Amino acid sequence: MRKRNFRYREGRFLVEGLQCVAEALLSTHIPECLICNDRGIEAMEAYADVIRERSVLCFSATDEVIASLAATVTPQGVIAVSPLVHLGLDEILNTGPATILVANRVRDPGNLGNMVRIADAAGVGGMIVCAESADLYNPKTVRSTAGSLFHIPLAVGEDISTTVRALKEAGFAVFAANAHSGTGMWEAEWPQRLALVMGNEAWGIPSEEEALADGLVHVPILGKAESLNVSAAAAVLLYEVERRRSAGVNEGGDD
């Protein structure tokens, strides 16, 4: 389960660290088992009732075994084996979310994990991880979500053209983020049903894929920075969308 192909073949992935394991235990995706060293067993005592009620198997392991499973230099001593959490694209769209975040060719696992955490914090109704992005179940991605991958609906593996077509058929307006072009986020008219596409960290979204979108938006750069990190830009844009909606302005669109 340290390798992508085996994760998908087995339908399981490893969850490392106290925060992520705790969120897994409290989620609808009940872990198959916990593997802990002495330090991890002590930390999991706070969740003993949950572990017992959910009949989660617990295995005691040596520090060496934990080190072989962990991807961090200094493991916290607890690892969970969890079923994969993603849904099909149609399942997410059918829940009727107001906002969906789309990661298109986001290659860095840490950035992708941060985007999942940001989407959760901003109240996004779902997130789609398109093909050619980092793996949602990469150990660094999982850690970077801080447990948020157990909170929001997620889909993986769709190419961007298929994703955009499905989003539009479901009634979403698709906006693509661009570092410098398009409408500034303060001037944009945010639709009631929005899919926000964030592109690659280095070169954004290819022009032929931007053409699939209904519009381009950007975060104004007020200082001398060339641009924002993709996860930071996603946070700013998503919170601006929610701020405007809560203020009751620019909720227009076809609806």
User: Residue 56's pLDDT is what?
Assistant: 97
**pTM, rounded to two decimals:** 0.93
Inform me whether the pLDDT recorded for 164 exceeds 80.
yes
Are the C-beta atoms of residues 109 and 87 closer than 8 Å to each other?
A: no
- Smallest Cα–Cα separation from 160: which of 114, 208, 193? 208
Encoding tokens for residue 94?
């059918």
* pLDDT for the residue numbered 111: 97
Mean pLDDT computed over 15-35: 95
3-state secondary structure 164-202: HHHHHHCCCEEEEECCCCCEECCCCCCCCCEEEEECECC
Q: How far apart are CA 238 and CA 99, in angstroms?
A: 9
Q: Tell whether the model's pLDDT for residue 202 goes beyond 90.
A: no
Report the pLDDT value the prediction gives residue 92, as an integer from 0 to 100: 93
Model pLDDT, residue 95:
81
Q: How far is Cα 205 from Cα 197, in angstroms, rounded to an integer?
A: 9
Q: Given a cut of 60, is residue 254 above it in pLDDT?
A: no
Domains along the sequence of the chain with CATH: 4-83 (3.30.1330.30), 89-247 (3.40.1280.10)
Of these ranges, 44-48, 92-96, 250-254, the one predicted with the greatest mean pLDDT is 44-48
Spatial separation of the C-alpha atoms in residues 212 and 167, rounded to whole Å: 11
Lowest mean pLDDT among 29-33, 69-73, 79-83, 251-255: 251-255
Amino acid at 223: G
Which residues, 6 or more positions from 68, have their beta carbon under 8 angstroms from its beta carbon?
A: none
Over range 134-139, report the average pLDDT.
96
